[in-house]
Amino acid sequence: PFSGNLRDPRWAPENGMMIVKVYIPSTDDIWAAYFPTNITLPMFTSRWLSKLSLHLQFSGSAMDTPEYYFDDDDFQCWLKHRVRHGRNLPIVGH
């Protein structure tokens, strides 16, 4: 579940759903979609495969360093802290 510190209420979950952005460097695109606040990494990966027909692995946002690929625990932590300084940062899909 979401527990991030939101300065901008538009990024707060509503009715159990939240907006998650994905940046795909290979296509230089940013996509956004609604997901349940309790989504797991396998479910998230499967939804993007269905939406984009791309097999993606996910790492921290472009502002995170060093780059690392997520396991489900890392993903859950990232979701909780995806909003920083009032911005909903995209996760990176490779």
What digits encode the pLDDT tens for the residues 32-51? 999 999 999 999 999 999 99
d(CA 57, CA 74): 13
pTM of the model: 0.82
Smallest CA-to-CA distance from 24 within 51, 2, 42 is with 51
Instruction: Please report, rounded to a whole number, the percentage of residues in the chain having pLDDT higher than 70.
Output: 83
Among the four given CATH numbers 3.30.360.10, 3.90.1150.10, 3.10.20.90, 3.40.50.970, the one describing domain 16-93: 3.10.20.90
State the average pLDDT over residues 80-84.
89
**Burial letters 74-93, b for 16+ CB under 10 A, else e:** ebeebbeebbeeeebbbbbb
Residue 1 confidence class, pLDDT cut points 50, 70, 90: very low
pLDDT at 61 over 80: no
Residue 15 confidence class, pLDDT cut points 50, 70, 90: very high
H-only helix segments in the chain: 41-52, 72-80
Report how far apart, in Å, the C-alpha atoms of 74 and of each of 10, 52, 80 are.
Answer: 24, 23, 10
